[in-house]
A and B are shown apart, each in its own frame.
Chain A
Amino acid sequence: MSSDWLERLGGYPGVWKRRHLLGLEDLSAEEITCILDKAVVFKQLLAEGHRRIPLLAGKTVCNLFFENSTRTRTSFGLAARRLGADVVDFSAATSSLSKGETVIDTARNLEAMGIEAVVVRHRTPGAPHLLAQNIHCSVINAGDGAHEHPTQGLLDIMTIRQLRGRVEGLTVALVGDIAHSRTARSNIWGLKKLGAHVIVCGPSTLVSPRWQELGVEVSYNLDEILPRCDVLNLLRIQFERQTRRPFPSVREYAHLYAMNRQRMARTKPDILIMAPGPINRGVEMTAEVADGPQSAILPQVTNGVAVRMAVLWLLAGAA
Chain B
Amino acid sequence: MSSLLIAHGRVIDPSQHMDRITNLLIRDGRIAAYDASEQEADQTLDAAGKIVCPGLIDMHVHLREPGREEDETIQTGAAAALAGGFTSIVCAPNTDPPIDTQGVAAFIHHQAAKADHCNVYVLGCVSKNREGKELAEIGQLVEAGAVGFTDDGNPIADPELLRRAFEYCRMFDKPVLNHAEVKELTEGGVMHEGLVSLILGLTGMPSASEEVMIARDIALAEATGGRLHVMHLTTANGVEMIRRAKRRGVRVTCEVTPHHLTLTDEQFRSFDPNYKMNPPLRGREHVEALIAALQDGTIDVIASDHAPHSQEKKLQEIDLAPFGVIGLETTLGVVATRLIEPGLLDWPTAIEKMTINPARILGLPKGTLAVGADADVTIIDPEARWTVDPKQFRSKSCNTPFAGWKLKGRAVATIVGGRVKYTWP
CA separation between A185 and B317, bound complex, in Å? 20
Interface string of B315-334 (1 = CB under 8 A from A): 11111100000000000000
Q: Which of A25, A123, A146 has its CB near the most chain B CB atoms (within 10 A)?
A: A146
CA separation between A41 and B369, bound complex, in Å? 78
Q: Does A280 contact B (CB under 8 A)?
A: no
Q: Is the CB of A125 within 8 A of B198?
A: no
Interface segment, one of B78-86, B91-99, B187-195: B187-195
CB distance from B272 to the nearest CB of A (A): 9
B317's contact among A122, A210, A211, A214, by CB below 8 Å, is which? A122
Chain B residues with Cβ below 8 Å from A213 are: 195
Chain B residues with Cβ below 8 Å from A211 are: 198
CA separation between A123 and B200, bound complex, in Å? 13
Closest to B188 in A: A243
Q: A124-B318, A130-B317, A243-B188 are in contact. Are A210 and B195 (CB under 8 A)?
A: yes
CB distance from A127 to the nearest CB of B (A): 5
CB distance from A18 to the nearest CB of B (A): 18
Chain B residues with Cβ below 8 Å from A126 are: 200, 271, 317-318
Q: Is the CB of B317 within 8 A of A25?
A: no
* B-contacting residues, A157-177, CB 8 Å: none
Chain B residues with Cβ below 8 Å from A125 are: 200-202, 271, 318
B202's contact among A129, A145, A214, by CB below 8 Å, is which? A145
CB distance from A57 to the nearest CB of B (A): 34
Q: Is the CB of A130 within 8 A of B195?
A: no
CB distance from B401 to the nearest CB of A (A): 16
CA separation between A144 and B317, bound complex, in Å? 11
Interface residues on B, range: 10 to 19
Chain A residues with Cβ below 8 Å from B270 are: 129
Q: Does A38 contact B (CB under 8 A)?
A: no
Chain B residues with Cβ below 8 Å from A243 are: 187-188
B198's contact among A129, A130, A210, by CB below 8 Å, is which? A210
CB distance from B182 to the nearest CB of A (A): 15
Q: Does A182 contact B (CB under 8 A)?
A: yes
Q: Does B199 contact A (CB under 8 A)?
A: yes
CB distance from B232 to the nearest CB of A (A): 24
CA separation between A32 and B317, bound complex, in Å? 28
Q: Does A196 contact B (CB under 8 A)?
A: no
CB distance from A45 to the nearest CB of B (A): 34
Closest to B312 in A: A102
CB distance from A99 to the nearest CB of B (A): 15
A208's contact among B188, B198, B315, B320, by CB below 8 Å, is which? B198
5 A-B pairs (CB sep. < 8 Å): A102-B312, A125-B201, A125-B271, A146-B201, A146-B202
Binding site for B on A (CB under 8 A): 25, 102-104, 122-127, 129-130, 144-148, 180, 182, 185, 208, 210-211, 213-214, 243
| Besides A126-B271, A180-B201, A208-B198, 11 new A-B residue pairs in contact (Cβ under 8 A), listed by A number | A103-B316, A122-B317, A124-B320, A144-B201, A145-B201, A145-B202, A145-B319, A146-B201, A147-B200, A147-B201, A148-B201
